[in-house]
Structure 1
Amino acid sequence: MSVSHALLQVRDLRVDIGERTVLQAVSLDVQPGSLVVLMGANGSGKSTLGMALAGHPSYQVVSGQAVLDGKNLLELEAHERARAGLFVSFQAPPDVPGVKNNLFVRTALNAVRQARGEEPQDAFDFLASAKAAAKELGLPASMLGRPVNEGFSGGERKRNELLQLALMQPKLAMLDEIDSGMDVDGVRAVVKLVERLRGEGTAFIIISHYLQMIESLHPDAVLRLDGGKIAEEGDMELARSIARTGFKQHAAAAGAAA
């Protein structure tokens, strides 16, 4: 992928968790409005990349660079990275007891709007846009008034992540197995939302093993993470090969062909 106009540039990123090095030297570029699928066996570091970019304190960036739209992410606090236009979904979204969903999302949205120099949304305007987005995603409007993710099913939690994404409209969104726990209608909602936001300029890194969804998303590139590095870059055929043979056999065949 071309480096010159990349929205996100990651260079030789090494990330440790405690005493263990998970990412050794990850480099990748993501263009504005493009979609990159990241695949890799369990434990290969896919979620680690997202958490490190987001600024999670348990993920120590030892070396390397990560630049989003000209801003050095590694110099920013986690909330500043979100305000700079980065959105990272949770693989397993947690409960936030005692905090109502609509207040949580509106507070986050208005912080992002303030960083963009936009006026904050009042409660009335926010509720109207949130209800419209919830309907599009198949999320009952009543869940806006409940504590964040409390009592939500796995699919509802993922839809709630998508609700935040739809309202915040970030420059770059990294979705970590957003299809996990989703039914067919949920996966269709993912594809529809991603298509719409891409048309509005949002770029995506999507972690998934669900071939049917990957095909529906029409990615610009498919990357395979292995050994703490991007081991392979390709197109849909790479995803199909991995789906046919599994990561271990595909990696062995790729190594033999190298």
Structure 2
Amino acid sequence: MTKNLLNVKNLKINIEDKEILKGLNLQINEGEIHILMGPNGSGKSTLAYTLMGHPKYEIAEGDIIFNGELINDLRADERAKRGIFLSFQYPEEIPGVTVEEFLRTAKTSVTGKFHGVIAFKKLLKEKMDLLEMEEEYASRYLNQGFSGGEKKKNEILQMSVLEPKLAILDETDSGLDVDAISIVAEGVKRVQDDKKSILVITHYNKLLDYLKPDFVHILLDGKIVKTGGIELAKEIDERGYENIRTKYSN
């Protein structure tokens, strides 16, 4: 029997007294890949940050249940320890902290287990080889001087190392060429298994061709208004959102 991993019920989110999410519902089971699409300003990133526990996003109503536990009041670090990961659309640069140092500290923090330098170096090299990343990346300062593609690949590397139960990718494919998208997609598929799930927020269809998602959701004006398969994403690519918006407004 498939186990429910994430259950978002009637979620309403306010930012500075403005309602952004207006009763959003979403269910993700273990082992599933979900795609979330929608025009700018529809609330996609708001959902991502809310699921991760960003303090700026106030839950006015509704519940977020993860792995059977109500997590509305948990801090971001507590959610990370329970297995939620968010890949940022615009990753921060952290001078003075190498990729390897950051990832080893994050792995220790999330798992609560000490990871020795030598053993972690071996693990990191294995993960980097899968993503076709040069070894020198490990010794570079986190995201400093990285190209857009390198930053996005580094986010996938973090996900690969941390092995979350639910990975939320916020427009990870933005700005990547076809080869980089292919590598990112392969990295995502290697992390995902019958117990781990992926929620991908995207504007593009290129990544979907590689991932073969289980469900595609359309978010308009703070609510998921339509759910389908990959054919729904292709409909959006061909016609845009107006057809769905017209149906929804009626």
Which TM class, normalised by the smaller chain length? over 0.9
The list of structure 1 runs, each at least 4 consecutive aligned residues, that deviate by more than 3 angstroms after superposition, is none
With normalisation by structure 1, the TM-score equals 0.92
2:71 equivalent to 1:68: no
Answer with 168-177 or 90-99: which moved more: 90-99
What is the total number of aligned residue pairs between the two structures? 250
Q: Secondary structure at the match of 2:72?
A: helix
Which residue number in structure 1 is paired with residue 53 of structure 2?
55
Q: CA separation in 2, counterparts of 1:183 and 1:215?
A: 14
Which residue number in structure 2 is paired with residue 246 of structure 1?
240
Q: CA separation in 2, counterparts of 1:152 and 1:200?
A: 33
Q: Which runs of 5+ in 2 are unaligned?
A: none
The answer to whether the 8 Å contact 1:137/1:186 transfers is no
The answer to whether the 8 Å contact 2:165/2:196 transfers is yes
The answer to whether the 8 Å contact 1:94/1:149 transfers is yes
Query: Which of residues 198, 205, 224 is equivalent to 1:230?
Result: 224
Please report the RMSD computed on the Cα atoms of aligned residues, expressed in angstroms: 1.7
Which residue number in structure 1 is paired with residue 41 of structure 2?
43
Give the drift of 1:215. 2.6
CA gap of 1:217–1:10, structure 2 versus 1, over 3 A, is same
Q: CA separation in 1, counterparts of 2:14 and 2:93?
A: 26
Which residue number in structure 2 is paired with residue 91 of structure 1?
89
Answer with 163-172 or 99-108: which moved more: 99-108
Which residue number in structure 2 is paired with residue 193 of structure 1?
187
With normalisation by structure 2, the TM-score equals 0.94
Query: Which of residues 189, 211, 235 is equivalent to 1:217?
Result: 211
The answer to whether the 8 Å contact 2:83/2:164 transfers is yes
Answer with 23-32 or 133-142: which moved more: 133-142
Give the drift of 1:244. 0.2
Letter in 1 for 2:179: D
Which residue number in structure 1 is paired with residue 7 of structure 2?
9
Q: Secondary structure at the match of 1:48?
A: helix
Q: CA separation in 2, counterparts of 1:134 and 1:201?
A: 23
Q: CA separation in 2, counterparts of 1:94 and 1:190?
A: 19
Give the drift of 1:213. 1.7
Residue identity over aligned pairs, in percent, reads 38
Q: CA separation in 2, counterparts of 1:213 and 1:186?
A: 10
Q: How does 1:128-167 map to 2 (within 5 A)?
A: 128-167=122-161
Q: CA separation in 1, counterparts of 2:237 and 2:15?
A: 29
Q: CA separation in 1, counterparts of 2:198 and 2:179?
A: 21
The answer to whether the 8 Å contact 1:241/1:250 transfers is no
What CA deviation, in whole Å up to 9, does each residue of 1:43-80 have, x standing for no partner?
11101101011111211111110011022221211100
